[in-house]
A and B are shown apart, each in its own frame.
Chain A
Amino acid sequence: MKLQNLSVVAASYLFYGWWDWRFLFLIIISTVTDYFVGLALKRTPDDPTRRKFFLGASLFVNLGMLGFFKYYNFFLENFVTAFSFFGTEIQAQGLNIVLPVGISFYTFQTLSYTIDLYRKRIKPTENFIAFAAYVSFFPQLVAGPIERAERLLPQFFKNREFDYSKAVDGLRQILWGLFMKVVIADNCALMVDRIFANPDAYNGSAILLGSLFFAIQIYGDFAGYSNIAIGTARLFGFHLMQNFAFPYFSRDIAEFWRRWHISLSTWFRDYLYIPLGGSRVGTGMAIRNVFIIFVVSGFWHGANWTFIVWGALNALYFLPLFLLNRNRDHLDIVAKGKWLPSLNDVLKILVTFGITLIAWVFFRAESVPQAVFMINEIFSASLFEHPEFRFYTLGTLITFFMIIEWFGREWQYAIERFGFGWPRMVRWGFYFSLIFAILYFGVQEQEFIYFQF
């Protein structure tokens, strides 16, 4: 087991160092800090002052690294702008900082360990190798899912043996993840990049399509990566949490956020929203808490006002449901056990998708004014003109993808049990057609969007 864990650490460091070995030091700093903070918290079970100090040290190191690499220039620029607004000119030079891949993911993962230790929800580990493997576990190191120590860490202490059904399941999930990324997301990206690079050149219908393609792109890209990560981990005998649960079939925004980037939403819920008082405070404070969690979530994605507006917009969508106590109306799976949804469900899904689309424009746009311009175009008369490009192939691919997703919505990923009743050759033919599509529709290499976060 020790050798297995050592191999995981070596493979993870090699994987990460392949991109830029210098940033391995950040992972090592994070690992060493939280390992020793863990041991220190163990030795001080009844000393709240020292426990707070140790937790503070972990927060300082992890959030300090994150703040410096991700937000330094943003704060500096806004600081300078704010001062110049009040008539004081400040000369400040931004730094040429490269954002380390996945820093937002592994710092949050390792923070969950120290916070849970502080809360005495878990026990610290004395096994440094196992802890290092937990922090740097390569399938989910750069883009999640952000695992909790109480779920993932114990798996490094269990004997892992090859399991046929898990391995096949893992391969199947990787295949679907690749299809989502290479066929769907990357082909959408070609259109999206064109439209968002030069929105002035397009009419409302083209911009609406561009936004729709982006909604599909970001889902295919991120959920695709999650599937690849979960499938790869499964091949090695690990079980990672589901990160996406068919969010575009949500009937309201609250359901959407229970199904989109689940590992991050629950992280913010457990480590930010609930400590702030959650909904068990006065209405005013509860509204504040909702705004904080959504805006912080937006800011987590990147140091740009577009992400903050995206977060705030989602808070505005969520608020009416929250105030009317309707935010837990849809805890079940839409049209469970049925082939088709009811008309009522269809309308709800379309409205939810529509408002999500508007928010995605802010997420993808270069700036807030650009997003506002694009939304104005969408709601202008040019919406009824023909778009300036053709999208038959992409439209067909997206339709095929959404149909498979719909029929697989009750499972962990769309093709988990797809075609299980079919003869083996037919099922294999289906898998072959997915591989063929990946090879055929694969475009130029496109980085995963979430690597930049």
Chain B
Amino acid sequence: MKFFLKQVHLFTLFSLILFSVITAGFLHSNELTFRDIPAPYLSNHAHYNEKLRFLRNTNIKPEILVAGSSMGVSNFHSEALTNGFETSAHLNISSQALTLEFIYPLAKVMIQNHQPEMLILSTNLYEFSNRHLITKNNLIEDYLSGKGADFLYHLRTFNLSYYINNFYINRDRRKNISSGFDNHGTINRGYGGLDDESDEEQVSIRSVRNYEYLYKLAEFCKQHEVKLVVIQSPFRDGVYTTIAEEESHYLYDHIKKIETIADTHEIIFINTLDHKWDDELFSTSTHFNVYGAEKFTKYIIDNIYNLM
């Protein structure tokens, strides 16, 4: 037994040394530091995990929450929000890849933890699509509530390929190759014009489940006396005016569904498709650049004040 244990120890030592050598080589060749370690693997979407880490570490006690997918992350302008609502107590909890199915549990935890006055839900067709994430909701709840040390979550969710494949996110932010969150969790998309048409395909297959989650979220907000504002985000004019008839019906049907839920749940619904949004305000078909985000945020705030 003694000899066996000795061999096991030796093998463990051997493995650790080898692992350290490989890790050092990997870090060196990719110009990485330990500060670039991705957030704990709480979902299979690295950007969402980074947002969760941001939300856990922020000191802001929000009165206003902004939720949604990538359109929520980048279509709002933090300074415009601060000026418009005359408070800096706002937090953008949106993240890439979130549909209502995943926005709902996140918003629930954030509302329970912070009791905000308002939740602005920025949506487009993506939030209602059948895209699926794998998330560890129980852990996310504990994580956002500040329970336990960070490394415990790394330990419980350890996934080597996730770390190796996502080190670059924080490295690129550190090196200013890509933008990181501002103090409120927003990432605006630069000052340039259209630079990426890759996400043109917005009219993806809708999932009925997501309308049910909107319904649940509305109920939850009502119970907790949080004013829910739902926004139909715009398409850039060049795209919106050329939407095919079939897709237009699809969009119309989608908006009708939201309006029905809004009517029965005291939700403020702002359909920004009623307004013309010039192409130069966008960096993609649905994502604003900084100018667009600022204009859009002011437009939303004006509408909220008018409708309240």
Q: Footprint of B on A, CB under 8 Å?
A: 162, 164, 167-168, 425, 428-429, 431-432, 435-436, 439-442, 444
B30 within 8 A of A: no
Are A435 and B160 in contact (CB-based, < 8 A)?
no
The interface residues of chain B, by DSSP majority, are classed as helix
Are B161 and A440 in contact (CB-based, < 8 A)?
yes
Are A168 and B18 in contact (CB-based, < 8 A)?
no
Besides A436-B19, A439-B158, 13 other A-B contacts (C-beta < 8 A): A168-B4, A425-B14, A428-B11, A428-B15, A432-B15, A432-B19, A435-B15, A436-B160, A440-B160, A440-B164, A442-B160, A442-B161, A444-B134
The interface residues of chain A, by DSSP majority, are classed as helix
Partner among A162, A428, A432, A442 whose Cβ is within 8 Å of the Cβ of B159: A442
Cα–Cα distance between A72 and B11 once the two chains are bound (Å): 51
Are B4 and A162 in contact (CB-based, < 8 A)?
yes
> How close is A441's CB to chain B, nearest CB, in angstroms?
7
Most chain B CB neighbours (cut-off 10 Å) among A167, A432, A436, A441: A432
How many A-B Cβ pairs are below 8 Å? 33
Contacts of B7 in A (CB 8 A): 168
> How close is B177's CB to chain A, nearest CB, in angstroms?
25
Cα–Cα distance between A89 and B18 once the two chains are bound (Å): 69
Cα–Cα distance between A441 and B161 once the two chains are bound (Å): 7
> How close is B2's CB to chain A, nearest CB, in angstroms?
10
> How close is B15's CB to chain A, nearest CB, in angstroms?
5
Cα–Cα distance between A436 and B22 once the two chains are bound (Å): 11
Cα–Cα distance between A435 and B1 once the two chains are bound (Å): 23
Given A441-B161, A442-B160, A444-B134, also A162-B1 (CB < 8 A)? yes
Cα–Cα distance between A300 and B11 once the two chains are bound (Å): 42
> How close is A190's CB to chain B, nearest CB, in angstroms?
11
Contacts of A164 in B (CB 8 A): 1, 3-4
> Binary interface profile of B, 1-40, with partner A (CB < 8 Å = 1, else 0)?
1011001000100110011001000000000000000000
Are B4 and A167 in contact (CB-based, < 8 A)?
yes
Are A431 and B11 in contact (CB-based, < 8 A)?
yes
Are B18 and A432 in contact (CB-based, < 8 A)?
yes
> How close is A308's CB to chain B, nearest CB, in angstroms?
33
> How close is A112's CB to chain B, nearest CB, in angstroms?
34
Contacts of B4 in A (CB 8 A): 162, 164, 167-168
Give 9 nearest A-B pairs by CB, closest first: A439-B160, A440-B160, A162-B1, A440-B161, A432-B15, A164-B4, A428-B14, A167-B4, A432-B18
Contacts of B14 in A (CB 8 A): 425, 428, 432
Chain A residue nearest in CB terms to B158: A439
Contacts of B11 in A (CB 8 A): 428, 431
> How close is A429's CB to chain B, nearest CB, in angstroms?
7
Contacts of B1 in A (CB 8 A): 162, 164
> How close is B6's CB to chain A, nearest CB, in angstroms?
10
Contacts of A431 in B (CB 8 A): 11
Contacts of B19 in A (CB 8 A): 432, 436
> How close is A156's CB to chain B, nearest CB, in angstroms?
21
Cα–Cα distance between A425 and B11 once the two chains are bound (Å): 9
Cα–Cα distance between A441 and B160 once the two chains are bound (Å): 8
Contacts of A439 in B (CB 8 A): 158, 160
Chain A residue nearest in CB terms to B1: A162
Cα–Cα distance between A436 and B18 once the two chains are bound (Å): 10
> Binary interface profile of B, 290-306, with partner A (CB < 8 Å = 1, else 0)?
00000000000000000
Cα–Cα distance between A164 and B3 once the two chains are bound (Å): 8
Contacts of B15 in A (CB 8 A): 428, 432, 435
Contacts of B158 in A (CB 8 A): 439
Cα–Cα distance between A431 and B161 once the two chains are bound (Å): 19
Given A164-B4, A168-B7, also A429-B159 (CB < 8 A)? no
Contacts of B18 in A (CB 8 A): 429, 432
> How close is B203's CB to chain A, nearest CB, in angstroms?
19
Cα–Cα distance between A442 and B4 once the two chains are bound (Å): 28
Cα–Cα distance between A428 and B11 once the two chains are bound (Å): 7
> How close is A432's CB to chain B, nearest CB, in angstroms?
5
Cα–Cα distance between A435 and B16 once the two chains are bound (Å): 12
Contacts of A444 in B (CB 8 A): 44, 134
Cα–Cα distance between A7 and B161 once the two chains are bound (Å): 38
Chain A residue nearest in CB terms to B11: A428
Can you identify 27 A-B contacts, CB atoms within 8 angstroms? A162-B1, A162-B4, A164-B1, A167-B4, A168-B4, A168-B7, A425-B14, A428-B11, A428-B14, A429-B18, A431-B11, A432-B14, A432-B15, A432-B18, A432-B19, A435-B15, A436-B19, A436-B22, A439-B158, A439-B160, A440-B160, A440-B161, A440-B164, A441-B161, A442-B159, A442-B160, A444-B44
Cα–Cα distance between A428 and B22 once the two chains are bound (Å): 15
Chain A residue nearest in CB terms to B15: A432
